[in-house]
Amino acid sequence: MDQSTKEQGKTMAIVSYITVIGLLIAYFSTRGDKENEFVTFHIGQSLRIFILGIVISISVGVLVSITGLSILSYLSYAPLVLMILGAMNANNLKEEKLPIIGNIG
């Protein structure tokens, strides 16, 4: 993939990491003729983050209610850290997979 393709999709790649609405905006704005491989890669990474966020939220809720260890609720910040890391990669025009979840799917 050449540098100009990455530059054209940089904004949408960053937007894909900003909440689910940003993910949907990036997805629908790059469909059809405007498809960009760089944006598609970051949309996939962002989707994995949001799925992980849902899984962690449910798991932490159950674990905290069973064990009473409220310190486990700090695991809920993991998707936020991954979103920031993904947005930084998009800003730097990198196509690096995110740690832990980058190879899933």
The model's pLDDT over 36-77, given as tens digits with 9 standing for 90+, comes to 899 999 999 999 999 999 999 999 999 999 998 889 889 999
Residue 69 forms part of a structural domain: yes
Residue 29 forms part of a structural domain: yes
Residue 98 forms part of a structural domain: no
The residues near 71 (Cβ < 8 Å, ≥ 6 apart) are none
CA distance 4 to 7: 5
- Hey, what are 8's tokens? 């054209």
Domain count, the chain: 1
Q: Percentage of the chain with pLDDT > 90?
A: 72
Residue 101 forms part of a structural domain: no
Residue 100 forms part of a structural domain: no
CA distance 13 to 25: 10
Instruction: Give the pLDDT band (50/70/90) at residue 5.
Output: confident
Entry pTM: 0.88
- Hey, what are 43's tokens? 């949309």
Q: In whole numbers, what is the pLDDT of the chain averaged over residues?
A: 91
pLDDT at residue 100, rounded to an integer? 87
Residue 105 forms part of a structural domain: no
- Domain containing 19: what range? 3-90
